[in-house]
Amino acid sequence: MNLDCPEHKRIIKIQEQSQLIGEFLEWLQTGQAQKDGKPVELAYMGENYLLPLMETIDTVLARYFHIDLDKIEHEKRPMLALIRGNKFPGDTPKNHI
């Protein structure tokens, strides 16, 4: 069976950049980045105030790199089934010796 996994292929292309940005975001979360003795935090602008960013790093990276996490999950299922040796809907029986 030949699997078509375009979103996974896109992840492989941006993996190095994504890793570097992800490590930087993790570092920000440690509180080591400071301004005037206060930790720097990721936030977004609400109406007239800042709100803390309540998303995982993976979600932020996926949005930045235009990766559809739902498509990733959809592609992952047949991959896992193939690894486990399960049959796919529409597969024809194979003759084994």
Estimate to the nearest angstrom the gap between the alpha carbon of 66 and the chain centroid.
10
What pLDDT score does 44 carry? 86
Cα 60 from Cα 53, distance rounded (Å): 9
3-state secondary structure of 44: strand
pLDDT confidence of residue 97: 42
Distance, CA of 61 to CA of 97 (rounded, Å): 47
| Torsion angles phi and psi, residue 93, rounded to 5 | -60, 145
Q: 37 lies in which domain range?
A: 6-84
pLDDT string in tens for the chain (97-residue length): 567 888 999 999 999 999 999 999 999 888 888 989 988 888 888 889 999 888 999 999 999 999 999 999 999 988 888 888 866 555 555 544 4
For the chain, what is the domain count?
1
Q: Is residue 96 part of a domain?
A: no
Radius of gyration of the chain (CA): 20
Residue 80 covered by a domain: yes
